[in-house]
Structure formats: C-alpha cells, structure tokens
Amino acid sequence: MSPVAEHDFGSALEACLKPTTMDDYMFKSHVQNCKNVVESTSYLEILNYSDPSYNCVEEHPLTNDEFENFLNRRGAFEPPALKPGVKLLNGIRMVLQQKAKHPETFTPHYISFTADAYESMVRTLRLPFRAIEGTSVVGPFFWSAYDQDDEDPHLQIIFRKSDVRKKGKTRGWELMLSHSFRTGITTGYAKGTESSDMVESVKHLKACAAQVMHPLLLPVIILSHDLSTKVDQKQREAREWLRRLEHAVSMRNEIVEAEGYVKQDYMDLDQINRDLVECHSQVLWKRPQAYQEIIDFIGAAMGRFWDMAERRPEAYGGRGGEVDRLHRNMTGRLEFYSAKLKGTENYAHTTLERLTIQRAALYNIIAQKESKLNLEMAGQQRRLAHASKRDSNSMKTLSLLGAIFLPATYLASVFSMTFFNFQNGGGNGNSGDSNDSNDGPVVAPTLWIYFVITIPLTLIIVLIWRIWDKRREKKYEAEDEDLEVGIENMEAKIMSNMRKRTMSKVRTWDLSKAQ
C-alpha cells in the first residue's frame, strides 16, 4: 500500500472511530429538520487593541459570498498587521439580522439561513448547539453554560424572546453568544423583528465599544431596553383605567366626573366589560415574575464569567481592574431592575385584585340588567294582553251590530217574498180594475220611506260606534304610553337606588385623606 493510500485510509479510519457527542448528533438532527427563510444579514465587528489607533467599530451588510470569509476572518475580514508590541485585547464579532420580516422567521423549526450556512456559523463561531432546540420557546428565555473545551473554555449564552404572529407580523428576538477566555473575543448571532429593541440595543453596544470585554454586556443592554419605562407607564395607565372603571361600576369617587364612563345616569355595560378585559391584559403585559427569573439567570451567568475571569488576572485585570468595575456596575444594574420589578409585581397584583372585584360587581349589574329585560318582556306580554282585549271588544262590537241589523235584514228578506203583497187592497186599487190589480207583484210608491229611515239610522249608528271606538283607542294608547314610561322609570329608579345605596354606605376611611 502506497504512503498516500495509507494516509487516506488512516484519515477515513480516524473519522469512523471519532465518537459523535450527544449535542453534536442532536444539533445535526434539528438543523436538517428545520425549514429556512431569507432575511437581510449584516455583520458587526468591534475590536479593541493595546494601541487605540487600531480600534474599529464596523457594521455593514453581509452578502452570501462573503459569509464564510467573515466567519473565518479571511479576505477583507483578515486581521490587520500589527506593529511590534501591539496586541488584540478584546472584541465582539457578530452576524446580525436586525430587521427580520418573514412571517415564519420565529415559527418553530424555522431558521433564517440554509442548513449548511447555519451549521457553519454555529461551529465556526463556537455558538451553543442547544440554541436550535429553542426555536419553539416563547416568552423570555435565558441560558448559559461552559462548553466542553477545557483548553480554550467558552462561556455560551442563549437569550431569546418570541411570540406568535400578531396581525400577520412575526414578533421576537434571539441572541447567541460565545466568549473565549483565551482571546477575549465574543462571537455571536442576533436576530430581531422591527417590534423588538434589537436595533437600539446594537446601537447602544456600539456606543459602549470600549466595554465589550464583558460577554454579558449585550444581554444586559437588551434587558435594559426590554424593561424600559414603557413597562412602568403601562402599569400606570392600567391603574388610571381601573379607577375610571371603579367609578362607573362601584361609584368610587377618585376621578374627575368628566373622565368617567357614566353620562347622564347611563352606563354602557358592553363598553365597560370590554375595557375590563383590555385593562386586565395590559396589567399582565411583561409579567414581572418572568423577568425576575431572567435576572436571576443572568446573575448566575455573570458569576460563571467572573469565576473564570479571576483565574486570568493578566487578561481581565483581577479585582479593582476595569472589568471588575464594569462587572460590579452591571451587577448593581441587575439589582436595580430586580427591585423595580418587585415593586411592579406588587403594584400589578393590587390592580389585578381590584379588577377582580370590579368584574364581580359588573356581573351583579348585568344580572340586574337581565332582570330589567325580564321586566320588559313582562311589559310586552301585558301589551299583548291589552291588544287581545281590544280585539275581543271589537268582536263584541261586531256582534252587537249584527244583533241590531240581522233581525231587520231577516224580516226584510221574509216580507220581500212574493207571498206578501201589502199594496194590493183586494181590488180597491186606484185603477178601479180588480183584475188588473191581481195580475202580479206591485211596488208601492211609498217604498222610499224604508230607505229614508234605514240609511240615516245605519249611518248614525256607525258614526256613534266610530266615535266611541276612537275614544277607546286613545284610552288604550294612553295606557300603553303609561306602561312604557313606567318601565323606564322603574329601570332608572333601580339604577339610581343602587347608586344611592352605594354612596350612602358608611365608609371605614376618609377618601379625602386617601391619596
């Protein structure tokens, strides 16, 4: 066997015998199962040297053909030639996707690179393999640990927060970092949507370029932006919202009347119910307990970093050095956020308890409103009963008219038969010819008397009935109006009495002194 063949065979045998670690196997498996989306990519490179003239802060777009060159510091990214005595002190090199827009970019099992590019980035920059297993994680998440390289240990960090799509837009951010204690360089990858604070955090990091020797600097910056004054303002707005709701539901007089929901003794219960739900949601925004745990995890990561940094005083300055001062400053900032979150937690808890009370009171009001609706239904049934009564009276009227006219009609029909001839006087007619008078039916010339009497009499009766019916209808209309007014007055009286009873209750405190 030739020497070349022996070398190839030995390399292949070594590759076959080289053990595959659990993390390596799971990383490959997850990457191959992920789908990929395309996002605009850039890079950030901050390097600090013993000679400040070599220091650089660079952020530029990163094309696909330059991606591998950046990872391996080749070509345009090759380290500069340094003067004798000049050395690299610390720095940070990151792949950035600050304005991710694809709807699936934070969906589980999606990555914003091809599988090969993602694997190359993670392996070359020594990023944590476990990050690929956190694509489905929601809410704030932080993890840190050392890798398994004892000769060149790296502190690896995963910090992310993602959520489901809102109105079709993806939301969230993620950060992967790996800090080398031998070189002082932090490598990483960061991605965030426009709704996140990633752009501002990177801008903040560039402004603090001289302090990038601490690997927890960027996570603390991101946490600072995530816990900005907007969180406190949300809680303050929720409390103001709550006071207006309390004024409307239970008449707590702690707001200006013009700002309340009640307008002219009328409450829009549907609006109040919706606002109760919205207020509850606003109080739960960025739950303090979750961020308290994140602060604890970041504090533990800072402890891991400082334990290793103390063993390398030549690189990190030891106690009293610049890194130590920065570390103590960041620790104090975490303690500040922890104390602020504790206050926010207590404040939010009180708001939630008061919202629960108002919700129960609102349910009672809604129950009263349902009773009012039942009262309205009873009123409608009463009106239906009145209408039925009117119909019955109308039928009585028709029956009466029939009783009056049917006998006369019947008699007229009977007497109009040919068996009766009241005009034939037995041959004593005016013609003097008895034979002619018996020839057929005779129409009496006084027949008009029947019509002259019948028609006016009928009209008079109908007119009298019409006048009587009109008066009756007006009486019924007045009764219906009184019924409607009575129902409305009853509702207003119920609500007014309820509010008066609430205001007349003996209080155990003086509202004028409770500020």
For residue 460, the model assigns a pLDDT of 83
**Predicted pLDDT at 337:** 93
Q: CA 350 to CA 345: how far, in whole Å?
A: 9
Neighbours of 315 (CB within 10 A): 17
**Phi and psi (nearest 5°) for 289?**
-60, -35
d(CA 145, CA 139): 20
Structure token pair of residue 348: 């939010």
So what's the pLDDT on residue 10? 45
- Residue 302: per-residue pLDDT: 94
The pLDDT confidence band at residue 127, using thresholds 50, 70 and 90, is very high
Q: Mean of the pLDDT values across residues 16-36?
A: 80
> What is the C-alpha to C-alpha distance for residues 248 and 25, in angstroms, rounded to an integer?
61
CA distance 433 to 492: 90
Q: Are 328 and 214 in contact (CB under 8 A)?
A: no
Which residues are within 8 A (CB) of 359 and not within 5 positions of it... i.e. 6 or more apart? 276
Alpha-carbon 143 to chain mean position? 29
* Residue in the block written with tokens 């007055």: 489
DSSP code at position 180: E
* Pairing verdict, β 35-36 and 42-49: unpaired
Cα separation, 226 vs 173, in Å, equals 11
- Confidence grade of residue 505 (pLDDT, cut at 50, 70, 90): very low
Within the chain, which residue ranges are assigned CATH 3.30.460.20? 23-210
**Looking at the chain, how many residues does it have?**
515
pLDDT at 334: 94
CA-to-CA distance for 79 and 72, rounded, in angstroms? 10
Radius of gyration of the chain (CA): 47
Nearest to 170 by CA among 96, 110, 117, 230: 110
Token pair, residue 23, equals 């993390």
Instruction: Kindly state the tokens that stand for 386.
Output: 């009145």
- Per-residue pLDDT, 264: 52
Q: What is the pLDDT of residues 469-502, one digit of tens each?
A: 788 778 877 777 776 776 667 666 666 665 565 5
Cβ(105)–Cβ(112) below 8 Å: yes
**What would the CATH number be for the domain defined by 23-210?**
3.30.460.20
Which DSSP string corresponds to 467-500?
HHHHHHHHHHHHHHHHHHHHHHHHHHHHHHHHHH
How much is the pTM? 0.70
- Model pLDDT, residue 61: 94
- How far, in whole angstroms, is CA 409 from its chain's centroid? 79
What is the SS3 assignment for 207-258? HCHHHCCCCCHHHHHHHHHHCCHHHHHHHHHHHHHHHHHHHHHHCCCCCCHH
Q: What is the pLDDT of residue 473?
A: 79
Q: Quote the mean pLDDT of the chain.
A: 80
Q: What is the pLDDT, as a whole number, of residue 168?
A: 77
pLDDT tens digits along 396-441: 777 777 767 776 776 677 567 554 565 555 544 444 454 455 555 5
- What is the distance between the alpha carbons of residues 377 and 382, in angstroms, rounded to a whole number? 9
- 183-187, 365-369, 495-499: range with highest mean pLDDT: 183-187
Cβ–Cβ < 8 Å for 49, 89 = yes
Looking at the predicted structure, is the pLDDT value of residue 333 above 90? yes
Confidence band of 260 (pLDDT split at 50, 70, 90): low
Choose among 155, 327, 89: nearest CA to 318.
327
Read off the tokens for 174.
Answer: 């993620």
Q: For 355-378, what is the mean pLDDT? A: 79
